Amino acid sequence: MIKSIADLPIEGKRVFLRVDLNVPLTPACGVADDSRIRACLPTIEHAIKHGARVVLASHLGRPKGPQPALSLEPVGARLAELLGREVLLTDEAVGDGARKVVADLRDGDVALLENLRFFPGEESNDESFAKQLASYADVYVNDAFGTAHRAHASTVGMIAYVSPSARGAGFLMKREIEFLGRLLGEPERLGRPYLAVIGGAKVADKIAVLENLLGRVNAFLIGGAMANTFLKAKGANVGKSRVEEDKLALARAFLKKAEDRGVEVLLPVDVVVASGLDAASGQIVRADAMPADSMALDIGPESSAGFADRIARAKTVFWNGPMGVFEKKPFAAGTLAVAKAVAACRGLTVVGGGDSVAAVNEAGIADQISHISTGGGASLEFIEGKKLPGIAALEVNE
């Protein structure tokens, strides 16, 4: 089982809280979007309220060694504003400075360790780096679902040096495990019809998700560039559309497996084509007869309406991957229609994937979705059925 921070005695304890503060930055190194900071506030506020001495740790970007532009300083400043209290940033993640800041904390104080990835030992899961991090932890709590698929010092290595009775998950991590876990739950207990709406760039990125959901869902609704590979695998003429030639056999094999199991695979019946990504507008054509010199950049209105109708009647929906090049206005309609349909669905709705979540936010319907996963790669690996190292490391037998 995995304990929640709510079940751990934390008063007067140094609580090491691994959070995901990997926010997008402005060119001037300010915080461009503070959603990730806001997402971990409930866990941090719980720790403060219960008298913990809070030691926050996160990575930011992909630094190669210490890099001032990737300091957590602006993140700490924004967090201090949101919490309405001081956040003490250490000069380095580990070392004399960090040790002193942590040792001087009083109950309810908050320290933030400087960017973990300034030390290569974080990503290489170096034992001595892990031990130094663990020396700041009476209690270890992980709330960073977005990095749970990585076995790093702060997500896995250090946990071995913390007592099993003092390990747990934060509220965000708990929620991710609960909702994504429901999508993979006992087939008899899932609300039906259960649909997986899968789009985005590549079959190669999503095939493991499709395979793992095959024994669970009633139907797949496929859009985005990956639909082209499936359409071509069925013999359609897809013009210049983006196709993964080396995945045609895999797509064909998947369609066959789905058919054998009685699982529907719905592909677009019409698409929006254009001469290229920068075209000012598109043209609606049948999906099996695209003009030779054009490429499919969105699903067409008939497909959107068909998908929306299915989604409206579903009891469980998992959506990953946009239906088209939604970053460009002329090719955003399919993705927007699916976003609205998922929002209107009364069943359990879960959206995962960096671009799909961006589309949901742009559509302004985020508050109508049961759960929006904060992990891009981590949520996909979870749905693929992989055991995420950062989650497995929190398991205790009690």
Would you tell me which residues interact with ligand ADP (CB under 6 A)? 200-201, 205, 224-225, 242, 296-297, 320-322, 324-325, 327, 353-356, 376
Beta carbon of residue 357, minimum distance to Mg ion (angstroms, whole number): 9
**Sign of the four-CA dihedral 39, 43, 49, 53:** negative
Contact 205, 211 (CB under 8 A): no
- Known catalytic membership, residue 202: yes
- Known catalytic membership, residue 85: no
Contact 333, 136 (CB under 8 A): no
Q: What does residue 200 show for φ and ψ, rounded to 5 degrees?
A: 100, -165
Residue 373 contacts by C-beta under 8 Å, 6 or more apart in sequence?
145, 176, 179, 180, 350, 351, 352, 353, 357, 379
CA 147 to chain centre: 9
Residue 356 binding: pick among Mg ion, ligand ADP, none (C-beta 5-8 Å cut-off by kind): ligand ADP
- Select which of 202, 240, 252, 386 is catalytic: 202
Size, binding site for Mg ion by CB under 5 A: 2
Q: What does residue 222 show for φ and ψ, rounded to 5 degrees?
A: -115, 130
Residue 320 binding: pick among Mg ion, ligand ADP, none (C-beta 5-8 Å cut-off by kind): ligand ADP
- Known catalytic membership, residue 390: no
Can the peptide bond before residue 193 be classed as cis, meaning omega within 30 degrees of 0? yes
Does 381 bind Mg ion (CB under 5 A)? Our answer is no
Beta carbon of residue 290, minimum distance to ligand ADP (angstroms, whole number): 11
Residue 170 binding: pick among Mg ion, ligand ADP, none (C-beta 5-8 Å cut-off by kind): none
The one segment of 29-37, 45-53, 349-357, 361-369 that binds Mg ion by CB under 5 A: 349-357
Beta carbon of residue 46, minimum distance to ligand ADP (angstroms, whole number): 30
Q: What does residue 298 show for φ and ψ, rounded to 5 degrees?
A: -160, 160
Residue 293 contacts by C-beta under 8 Å, 6 or more apart in sequence?
239, 240, 275
Q: What does residue 25 show for φ and ψ, rounded to 5 degrees?
A: -110, 155
Q: Smaller CB distance to ligand ADP: residue 93 or 209?
A: 209
Beta carbon of residue 88, minimum distance to ligand ADP (angstroms, whole number): 35
d(CA 333, CA 327): 11
- Known catalytic membership, residue 375: no
- Taking CB atoms, the residue at the shortest distance from Mg ion is 355
Of 195, 355, 375, 388, the one binding Mg ion by CB under 5 A: 355
- Select which of 13, 18, 36, 117 is catalytic: 36
Residue 322 binding: pick among Mg ion, ligand ADP, none (C-beta 5-8 Å cut-off by kind): ligand ADP
Name the strands in the sheet holding 88-89, side by side, starting at the edge strand that comes first in the sequence.
88-89, 110-112, 53-57, 14-18, 139-142, 167-169
- Select which of 315, 354, 376, 386 is catalytic: 354
The one segment of 93-101, 189-197, 348-356, 381-389 that binds Mg ion by CB under 5 A: 348-356
Residue-wise DSSP of 164-196: GGGEEE-HHHHHHHHHHHHHTS-GGGS-SSEEE
Q: Which of 310, 285, 106, 79 is nearest to 194 (CA)?
A: 310
Q: Smaller CB distance to ligand ADP: residue 121 or 239?
A: 239
Beta carbon of residue 354, minimum distance to ligand ADP (angstroms, whole number): 4
Q: Smaller CB distance to ligand ADP: residue 119 or 326?
A: 326
Active site amino acids? 36, 202, 354, 377
